[in-house]
Amino acid sequence: MIHFSLPVEDFGQMLDGLIARQEAWAKTAAWHRGEVNDPWFQIEESKDEREAEWIAETYAGIIRALQEQARGQR
C-alpha cells in the first residue's frame, strides 16, 4: 500500500485526470461495439472491446478507492 497526502485541489485534479482516462476507455469499448459515431473521437489502442472494458473498469476501481478514502478524511 502507498500512503500520501495532497492538497485537496491537487487531489481533485488527479481524480479529473483518472476520470478522463476511464471515460476514454469506456468510449473505446463502445466504439468496438459500433456505438460511437463521433468523427472526432480518437480511440485508445486496444485489441478489442473486452480489453478496453477491462482497462475502463480498472480505472473505475482506482477512482472509487480514492473517493472512498477521501470521504473518510473530509
**Residue 1 falls within a domain, yes or no?**
no
**Residue 2 falls within a domain, yes or no?**
no
**Residue 54 falls within a domain, yes or no?**
yes
Structure confidence by residue, pLDDT tens digits, 22-71: 999 999 999 999 999 898 999 999 999 999 999 999 999 999 999 999 99
**Residue 48 falls within a domain, yes or no?**
yes
d(CA 61, CA 58): 5
29 phi and psi angles, rounded to 5 deg: -60, -40
**Residue 23 falls within a domain, yes or no?**
yes
- By C-alpha distance, which of 53, 31, 51, 56 is closest to 43? 31
Q: What is the value of pTM for the model shown?
A: 0.90
Q: What are the grid coordinates assigned to 28, written together?
A: 473505446
d(CA 35, CA 22): 17
Question: What total of structural domains would you count in the chain?
Answer: 1
- What pLDDT band is residue 72 in, cutting at 50, 70 and 90? confident
